[in-house]
């Protein structure tokens, strides 16, 4: 089932064999059965989590339906999540994808910390790599008072929470408060939970708020629709407290990692590696960080795409309106770029009117769609640079991806640069790519 979703799967028949694989191979998620010959899953989990080399590996314990004590023991051993036998396909793929993304975010923070140290900055980055607390502020959306009370009680020892039974108020409640996770019942009596989730995902400020859905057995079709529209995770009734706490903890960690990647850099690093006008990373940071991203992608046999965007006729803007208007255009261009990228993407102002976007895990087809969407976002309305002046802006994009294990950052960049010049020669305001 995992291979059908294009995961690369390694298997071990015992705890020690699993530990050996984790030490020797690049692993993103570990699924551990509780009952194994020799070393059991709990001891294997403890050893994985106690080894500095593997302590960040997400571990999923596979437990029997009637063994609630196993879940508690798994939490004590450091497990990140649970799967219950017989393993449901939806649960399997959802858990693995969630934890793989969490591992990606954690790896990205570690890589950025290493980049900072290589540049001679970021001495305190170790304090920022992992959240110091996974206690969160939760919003529960459930219009059944008894059900909502049971959920709130199950979470009360580890988190603070508020129940909002009226879905009309939910977006306002989320906008006005700093919630870490929204938990919503799929079986609301007086509203459509899927419509609410879609609305939350469409609002810019809330697009990164994790959503956990509480689903009824037999409602798999609507559950799949929710996962497709961006719901992060789910748990089925009757709700197991330990599973619920594990799901919430994973989403809180993921949100805080993601927030960290979007918002926080040490002031000393900002001075060295941030463009002062646009607040994006500058050329120096990109050159230091790109090699790590490329090498990691090649080692993992994972795609990576790079695009270079250049504002069309920027010299004409400076000559016509002045450099202060040109600067305002650059700032707005950077903002539109930033708003349409993921937290793990690397966005840089390379120099002048050139901007670079590096997208780990994104293949050529997806990167081309992203580039087209970025150009549409830039051109959809004029840049308002003052109360009296709006300037229509377009851009040209050159695109490249990793094509072989022999590709270097310089080769990938050169292909994108050549494609950019081809886009300009072809009439501007378009995306071009150069074959390897």
Nearest 5°: the CA angle 342, 344, 350 is 90
pLDDT at 48 over 60: yes
N-to-C CA span, the chain: 33
Backbone φ/ψ region at 361: left (φ over 0), alpha (ψ -120 to 50), beta: left
In angstroms, the CA 162 to CA 141 distance is 9
Residues shown for the chain: 436
98: confidence class by pLDDT, cuts 50, 70, 90: confident
Query: Which residues of 368-434 form beta strands (DSSP E)?
Result: 383-384, 390-391, 395-401, 431-433
66: confidence class by pLDDT, cuts 50, 70, 90: low
Residue in 164, 243, 353, 354 annotated catalytic: 353
> Which residues are registered as beta bridge partners of 33?
62
Residue-wise pLDDT for 272-315, tens only, equals: 788 889 989 999 889 888 999 999 999 999 999 999 999 999 99
Cα atoms in the Cβ-side hemisphere of radius 13 Å centred on 155: 28
Under 8 Å between Cβ of 82 and 243:
yes
The pLDDT of residue 122 is: 52
The pLDDT of residue 391 is: 92
Kindly state the average pLDDT of the residues 183-188: 95
The pLDDT of residue 334 is: 94
The pLDDT of residue 44 is: 95
85 Cβ contact partners less than 8 Å away, ≥ 6 residues apart: 62, 63, 64, 65
The pLDDT of residue 129 is: 46
pLDDT at 420 over 70: yes
Under 8 Å between Cβ of 94 and 24:
no
Q: Which residue has the higher pLDDT, 254 or 404?
A: 404
Query: Which residues of 85-222 form beta strands (DSSP E)?
Result: 137-141, 160-163, 181-185, 211-215
Is 353 designated active site? Answer: yes
Helix or strand (DSSP H, E) at 84: strand 81-84
Helix or strand (DSSP H, E) at 81: strand 81-84
Kindly state the average pLDDT of the residues 134-151: 93
> Which residues are registered as beta bridge partners of 391?
383
Kindly state the average pLDDT of the residues 72-93: 86
431 Cβ contact partners less than 8 Å away, ≥ 6 residues apart: 307, 368, 371, 372, 375, 397, 398, 399, 423
The pLDDT of residue 128 is: 46
264: confidence class by pLDDT, cuts 50, 70, 90: low
What is the residue-averaged pLDDT of the chain? 88
Q: What is the 3-state secondary structure (H, E, C) of 129-155?
A: CCCCCCCCEEEEECCCHHHHHHHHHHH
> Distances in Å between the alpha carbon of 165 and those of 169, 183, 214, 238, 327?
8, 12, 14, 20, 47
In angstroms, the CA 101 to CA 360 distance is 12
Residue corresponding to tokens 């998620």 = 29
Q: Which two tokens stand for residue 70?
A: 């196993």
């Amino acid at each position: 089932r995992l291979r059908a979703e294009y995961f690369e799967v390694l298997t071990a028949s015992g705890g020690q064999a699993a530990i050996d694989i984790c030490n020797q191979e690049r692993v993103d998620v570990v699924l551990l059965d509780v009952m194994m010959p020799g070393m059991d899953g709990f001891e294997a989990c403890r050893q994985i989590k106690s080894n500095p080399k593997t302590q960040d590996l997400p571990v999923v314990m596979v437990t029997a339906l009637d063994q609630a004590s196993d879940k508690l023991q798994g939490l004590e051993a450091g497990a990140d999540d649970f799967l219950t036998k017989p393993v449901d396909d939806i649960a399997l793929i959802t858990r693995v994808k969630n934890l793989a993304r969490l591992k990606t975010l954690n790896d990205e923070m570690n890589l950025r910390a290493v980049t900072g140290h290589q540049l001679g900055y970021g001495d305190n980055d170790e304090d920022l790599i992992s959240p110091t607390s996974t206690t969160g502020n939760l919003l529960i959306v459930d219009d059944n008072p008894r059900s909502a009370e049971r959920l709130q009680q199950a979470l009360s020892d580890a988190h603070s929470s508020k129940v909002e039974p009226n879905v009309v108020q939910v977006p306002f409640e989320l906008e006005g408060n700093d919630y870490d996770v929204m938990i919503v019942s799929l079986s609301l009596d007086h509203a459509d939970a899927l419509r609410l989730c879609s609305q939350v995902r469409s609002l810019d400020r809330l697009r990164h708020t994790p959503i956990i859905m509480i689903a009824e057995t037999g409602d798999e079709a609507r559950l799949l629709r929710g996962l497709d529209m961006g719901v992060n995770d789910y748990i089925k009734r009757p709700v197991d407290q330990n599973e619920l706490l594990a799901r919430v903890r994973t989403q809180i960690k993921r949100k805080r990692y993601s927030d960290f990647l979007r918002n926080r850099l040490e002031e000393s690093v900002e001075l060295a590696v941030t463009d002062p006008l646009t607040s994006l990373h500058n050329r120096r940071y990109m050159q230091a960080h790109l090699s790590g991203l490329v090498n990691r992608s090649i080692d993992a046999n994972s795609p990576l795409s790079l695009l270079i965007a250049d504002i069309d006729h920027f010299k004409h803007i400076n000559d016509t309106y002045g450099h202060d208007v040109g600067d305002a255009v650059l700032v707005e261009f950077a903002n539109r770029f930033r708003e349409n990228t993921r937290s793990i993407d690397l966005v840089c102002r390379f120099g002048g009117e050139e901007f670079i976007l590096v997208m780990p895990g994104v293949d050529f087809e997806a990167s081309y769609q992203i580039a087209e969407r970025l150009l549409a976002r830039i051109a959809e309305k004029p840049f308002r640079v003052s109360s009296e002046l709006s300037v229509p802006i377009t851009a040209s994009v050159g695109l490249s991806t990793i094509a072989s294990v022999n590709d270097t950052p310089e080769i990938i960049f050169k292909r994108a640069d050549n494609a950019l010049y081809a886009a300009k020669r072809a009439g501007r305001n378009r995306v071009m790519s150069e074959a390897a």
